[in-house]
Structure 1
Amino acid sequence: MKNRIQELEKIESKNAQLQKRIDDLEQRLKTLEL
């Protein structure tokens, strides 16, 4: 069970990194559109 929790935490951490990257790219797109 503990391993599963660690796996989930790893996935959540990766998701957070991806979300941040997406936000950064969206900001860049906005500046390009202007």
Structure 2
Amino acid sequence: MKTYLDCIPCFFRQGLEAARMATQDEEKQREVL
């Protein structure tokens, strides 16, 4: 899979969304990112 600089914000958004689903602890969400 090729990644472009345009993809980076989407990766972070998806990671944050998954972290929020996994835990309500904001500190752990930051660790995921």
TM normalised by structure 1 equals: 0.50
Which structure shows the higher helix fraction?
1
Larger-gyration structure (1/2):
1
RMSD, aligned CA: 1.9
Gaps of 5+ in 2: 25-33
Q: Does 1:21 align with 2:13?
A: yes
Gaps of 5+ in 1: 1-10
User: Relative CO higher for 1 or 2, CA cutoff 8 Å, sep ≥ 6?
Assistant: 2
